[in-house]
Amino acid sequence: MTKENTEKILNTLDSVYGTTKEGFVHTADWQLLTAIMLSAQSTDRQVDETLPGLWSRFPDMESIIQAPVEEIENAIKSIGLYKVKARNIKKCCETLWQRPDRAVPTTIEELVKLPGVGRKTATLFLADAYGIPGVTVDTHVFRIARRLGWAIGSNPVRVEKELMEALPKEHWNRINFQLIYHGRSVCTARRARCEKCVLSKWCDFPRTDSNTVPVPQTKQAKNQPVKRNNMGD
């Protein structure tokens, strides 16, 4: 993939899918982190519909900590993997509460130490909360990055590094949701609809013999693809 073609693809993605994405409703950093944790294996729409009731029932970390996990489950039961997420959210809030400032960490290294927070969730949080550049590799990003010719890595960590080398930093935060949208509508896991793709003239994939790519070898890959952008861990 040449730099010229990369620039054309990025400009097209900006034009088709936009450069910004509306974030989840929140008034505190711990709520944003919770929302991103919920988004794994769920759509943004499902999370958006759940958050108002969740914040009404649990307006602060202390109310989450004091609540039985079953109450948290009931508040998020429309979300995928809600039982696991309820336990992680409660444990995460308990851990944050024990910090001297009770604040959400501002580095990936500290964030991934929190219960239920992996590298993708951490990267998305830092991007949404502070605008810190970072590439998030979910199944859509993994698949399309390889098809486009931006990456050849066989796991998300390697593809993340390759994308950070291939793409200008100002595109890192938005490439995730752009490729998720493109992956859902055009460049799907089952079939790359190259005949309908606005990127096909610059893409390596139509010129290959294979119409499939490996799925990333992570625990997530054994389940259904992440529906966000996160995304998820």
- For the annotated catalytic residues, the residue numbers are 120, 138
Burial group, residue 203, by CB count within 10 angstroms (0-12, 13-18, 19+): buried
Task: Identify the CA nearest to 12 among candidates 143, 179, 162.
Answer: 179
Q: At what angle do helices 29-39 and 82-97 cross, to 10 degrees?
A: 160
Task: Identify the CA nearest to 213 among candidates 163, 162, 157, 150.
Answer: 150
The answer to whether the beta carbons of residues 97 and 115 sit under 8 Å apart is no
- Give per-residue burial for 217-232: e unless 16+ CB within 10 Å, then b: ebebbeeebbbbbbbb
DSSP code, position 199: T
Among all chains, which residue has been given the structure tokens 């910004």?
Answer: 20
Q: List the structure tokens of 153.
A: 């890595």
The answer to whether the beta carbons of residues 203 and 147 sit under 8 Å apart is yes
Among all chains, which residue has been given the structure tokens 């013999």?
Answer: 209
Task: Identify the CA nearest to 34 among candidates 98, 108, 91, 110.
Answer: 91
Sign of CA dihedral 217, 223, 227, 229: negative
